[in-house]
Structure 1
């Protein structure tokens, strides 16, 4: 009798498929990898071969250089690829541009490794698609009932309102370079903000990639080479580390904002010195996670990288079989490493 672990099993290097001899989002270099999305805790350089969506491959090339892998294979959404007799199909995860769930099928068993995902609309990427399966492998970043994220439009509306209230102050928004920054820009555009948005140099290349992929960000200007006390009444977006760095001191009495699901925790906002916390997450909140489990009703739910205990208890109370994988090497949030801004303070 075939066990689910015969198809996918946790190992120190990551989730491994023995019959296909490949890993999904391995945390160390391997011979063959399937990558769900471009965040650095899931997409690492140095693999022998990488299969991913065309957008994820482009993101990896942008971040690591064209030689990030020996061989690459683009798998558009919905296309089935056979690896050593195991079928792999990538479907949208709704996390960031190009993000995918890996649908793995073999000998009548279908398992879905969701990577990171969210269920709400995102104007910068394809929305999550539920796939019937025997085993659903879910993240648990916000796997506690306290995490119920408000509508994105309300949070961006608070930013626009603050711009109206403080027209002489620069508004600096901390947002992760891949996915969050572009999403905040698009949400601002949908909220009616038509003026140029200024960006830290660390965001420019990924912004350009999103534009090439058809995501219209509107007028974008570099937040470099500007005189001191500039950008009063304007929006500048930067990596989270930059809004607390000397880079931020050049701007006019800045209002510091941070777009993250963790901004729903007041202590975290205070710890970071954030004046305007914006609860905007690229991960599923508690309601989205449990709604997904209810909708799919798989034979088993495997829970990883996050707060497994709360979801394990929910599954127990709702008659669903679940286990914690406890894979290591994945961040609870998509924090990028601090980046230096070359432009001197003037």
Structure 2
């Protein structure tokens, strides 16, 4: 069986005919396998959903318990149609997984979803999975993107808080995964006191605590008087009246896109923190080199840049041109 008979792009997303399922479909389908809980990969309305237990629980928090007709936790290798599928840690966010698809006859394909190889205190570490075809994202698939050690970025945050002790530091971070990682990085850097969080983060932070991730003391940033110097909020909050309750704040943002300083200036970010939950250029190229697949398929992001690198390395590659996925939510 040829690879494109096992998995190929459709308007609804990646489809596997021998298993009769889609991976991270962008519209409702009868059967979906979901890599992780971010909204551009995990949508409601499917007939049946298979994902890790944590991803299923995150989807229930975000969409309600009836987000799909049926759900099944991915525990161990499972038969789906004429394929065997297995889920492996991706290092991206809590519950994130790569999906390995092994047909009864044909090459093994690993769909990485979004993945990260920097140590992440709120996610199981990325696990290399041997495969014939590796499907990789290319969010930061250009040589300019070389993300620094997150601990160094937290040192910059702490230095700013010490330099401006009277100014609250408002840091934008995506509500699922990035916000909790930022809190844990702050704890590891020695910030032991209360951290204020926007109300939109509360339930997901509570869930991380329920899963055994100690985020330390958190206080709501919804009161008129916020006693914490460090405040974390989703990016959407910075365009609302909510931000006006803070006097002379230091505006920060945690994202791999903060590598592009012009983007930081356009957003009015005084303290850009280059912290990403995606592989950067050295990580994605190292991953491909280590896995040594016979072919690489490239999804959303800088597909052309990674295609060119694969060409120079003599690795067969093709872009999937999937639509509907955000490179990294801002």
The answer, yes or no, to whether TM exceeds 0.5 is yes
> For residues 191 and 173 of structure 2, what CA distance do their matches in structure 1 show?
17
Deviation per residue, 1:271-330 (Å, 9 max, x gap): 100000000001100000000010011010000101011111101111111010001111
1:272 and 2:267 equivalent?
yes
1:84 and 2:65 equivalent?
no
For structure 2, list consecutive stretches of 5 or more residues without a partner in the other structure: none
SS of residue matched to 1:303? strand
> For residues 243 and 216 of structure 1, what CA distance do their matches in structure 2 show?
27
Deviation per residue, 1:82-141 (Å, 9 max, x gap): 011210100000000000000000124210000000111000000111111010000000
Which of residues 129, 147, 150 is equivalent to 1:149? 147
1:170 and 2:168 equivalent?
yes
1:98 and 2:95 equivalent?
yes
Give the equivalent residue in structure 2 for 1:196. 194
Contact 2:142–2:302, Cα closer than 8 Å, also in 1: yes
Of 243-252 and 56-65, more deviation after overlay is shown by 243-252
> For residues 252 and 153 of structure 1, what CA distance do their matches in structure 2 show?
28
Give the equivalent residue in structure 2 for 1:18. 17
Deviation per residue, 1:186-236 (Å, 9 max, x gap): 000000000000000000000001111111100001011223xx54x6100
Which of residues 254, 279, 282 is equivalent to 1:287? 282
Which of residues 233, 248, 255 is equivalent to 2:250? 255
> For residues 249 and 161 of structure 1, what CA distance do their matches in structure 2 show?
24
Give the equivalent residue in structure 1 for 2:307. 312
> For residues 150 and 313 of structure 2, what CA distance do their matches in structure 1 show?
29
> For residues 84 and 176 of structure 1, what CA distance do their matches in structure 2 show?
36
In the TM superposition, 1:45-194 aligns within 5 A as 45-76=44-75, 79-106=76-103, 107-194=105-192
Give the equivalent residue in structure 2 for 1:236. 231
For structure 1, list consecutive stretches of 5 or more residues without a partner in the other structure: 336-346
TM-score of the aligned structures, taking structure 2 as reference length = 0.98
TM-score of the aligned structures, taking structure 1 as reference length = 0.94
State the shift of 1:243 in Å: 2.6
> For residues 71 and 50 of structure 1, what CA distance do their matches in structure 2 show?
6
Aligned residues: 329
Aligned residues: CA RMSD? 0.9
Deviation per residue, 1:39-60 (Å, 9 max, x gap): 0000000000000000000000
> For residues 244 and 27 of structure 1, what CA distance do their matches in structure 2 show?
27
Contact 1:16–1:24, Cα closer than 8 Å, also in 2: yes
Deviation per residue, 1:22-73 (Å, 9 max, x gap): 0000000000000000000000000000000000000000000000001000
> For residues 225 and 95 of structure 1, what CA distance do their matches in structure 2 show?
32
In the TM superposition, 1:23-34 aligns within 5 A as 23-34=22-33
